[in-house]
Amino acid sequence: MNSIEQRFHLRLSYFTFRVRRTALIGVDPGGQQQPVLVIEPEDFAATAIDEGQNLIDEIRKIAAAHLTTQPIDTFLIHKELPVDIRHNSKIFREKLAMWAADESRRQ
For the chain, give percent helix, strand, coil, nearest 5. 50, 20, 30
Question: Which CATH number belongs to the domain containing residue 27 in this structure?
Answer: 3.30.300.30
- Going by C-beta distance under 8 Å and a sequence separation of 6 or more, which residues neighbour residue 20? 40, 41, 42
Expressed as residue numbers, the domain containing 58 is 3-106
Rounded to two decimals, the pTM is 0.77
Q: Residue 103: how many CA atoms within 13 Å on its side-chain side?
A: 16
Q: What is the pLDDT of residue 16?
A: 53
- Going by C-beta distance under 8 Å and a sequence separation of 6 or more, which residues neighbour residue 1? 9, 91
Total structural domains within the chain: 1
Low-confidence ranges of the chain (pLDDT < 70): 1-17, 44-50, 107
